[in-house]
Amino acid sequence: MGNYIRHWQKAIFVGIIVFSLLPIATWADSGPAHRVDQWFPIQLGTSGGNINDSSKGFCYGGTLGALVEDGSGIQYILSNNHVLARTNVATIGEDIIQPGLIDQSPTCFKDTTDSVADLSAFIPIFFKTKGTMPPNAVDAAIAQVRVGKVDPTGFVMDIGTLSSDTVAPSLGMAVKKSGRTTGVTNGNITAVSATIDVSFGSGKTARFVDQIVVGPGNFMAAGDSGSLMVEDVVANPRAVGLLFAGSSTTAIANPIDDVLDSFGVSMVGSGPSASVMGKILAWAKKLLSVAESQAANAQLPPQASQTAVDAVRRVKERHEGRLLAIPGVIGVGVGVSEKAIGQAAIEIYVKETTEARRQALPQSLDGVEVKTIETGEIRAY
């Protein structure tokens, strides 16, 4: 009976994806097909997580983001520490399953037949304690793939095969991601070099430095953590960042090179997927109209030169400590100026904008424009 249910779910999975391809302008699934049980080998950009990620009657899940490999060619699933390693508490070797517990049938059922990888390593997250806030660079973990359980080309649902190269984030860059909850979404990088205080629940807060800020607000939602963010191009996009946190208005990602360097791995970006579904998705991508691409590019914010960004970053760093000490301020980054094309500005992120807080924050620092942006609480998704 269990095998029958599993196969029925997988048939539904295929049907949803094929149906979503029919109107070419909306070929990418909006989320449901990313949460169901897949045939082996699975594609990534899908629901997944640690088989033990449950407590007090609740269970969780995130996104199995991408495929990476070490110098020996051993392949690993890449996602977040809080998705694969249960926020620092998992034991190396624990089962990683697809879909995650939250998407099992019944919900929270620990189905060992859904195991696709074994937790291999994670970067510890350091939290605020006794008034000190140690810096973090990444929220990341990897899990060694079990033989035959993951598409070895690293194919990501609704995105395709990636480039093995990466690209550094830049202001205004058009990006996209494929995640468990919202499927494929598109956005733009609105800030770089950001320092952000992120809530992990249960009163735990961690500070992350040199992060990427992305908008608009529908770019990611709870359960999309672990998604790989890539440049918004049709074929073989390069990885830009690893998403891990956000709010209703904002998404936060670790720069991908910092993530890869933490584990000594590289992106898997081989030839086209050999699967029939992979070929269908690749075909659909090629049919996206030039008009749509031009419309997307027309929405990009004004670019700021790298020289301008570097200059503003240095000013931000001089004042960052004082700004983050102001009650209600949860981050500081480098964004695009609203007053001068080609210039950058300092962005101050606050949970809530009040008149008193607005008066307490500067409008400029060392001659650099300062913008105050209300983001709400930034949470690990």
Reduce the secondary structure of 339-350 to three states and give it as a string. CCCCCEEEEEEE
Q: What is the pLDDT of residue 131?
A: 82
For residues 193 and 174, the answer to whether their CB atoms sit within 8 Å is no
Is there a contact between 162 and 236 (Cβ–Cβ < 8 Å)?
A: yes
Q: In the chain, which residues fall in CATH 2.40.10.10?
A: 2-295
Q: Does domain 2-295 have CATH number 2.40.10.10?
A: yes
Supply 233's token pair.
């191009």
Q: Tell me the per-residue pLDDT of 326-348, one tens digit each, with 9 for 90 and over.
A: 999 999 999 999 998 889 999 99
Per-residue pLDDT tens over the stretch 188-231: 999 999 999 999 999 999 999 999 999 989 999 999 999 999 99
Parallel, antiparallel or unpaired: strands 95-97 and 46-50: antiparallel
Task: State the span(s) of the chain assigned CATH 3.30.300.
Answer: 306-380
Res 302: pLDDT = 55
> What pLDDT, on a 0 to 100 scale, did the predictor assign at position 9?
42
The CATH code that applies to domain 306-380 is 3.30.300
pTM, two decimal places: 0.86
Task: Give pLDDT, residue 68.
Answer: 98
Q: Quote the radius of gyration of the chain (alpha carbons, Å).
A: 20
Residue corresponding to tokens 């045939």: 39
Torsions phi, psi for 19 (to 5 deg): -60, -40
pLDDT category of residue 56 using cuts at 50, 70 and 90: confident
- Indicate the average pLDDT of the chain: 87
Identify the pLDDT of residue 93. Answer: 98
pLDDT (tens digit, 9 = 90+) per residue, 9-26?
A: 433 333 333 333 333 233
Specify the 3-state DSSP secondary structure of 240.
strand
Which of 20-24, 86-90, 128-132 reaches the highest mean pLDDT? Answer: 86-90
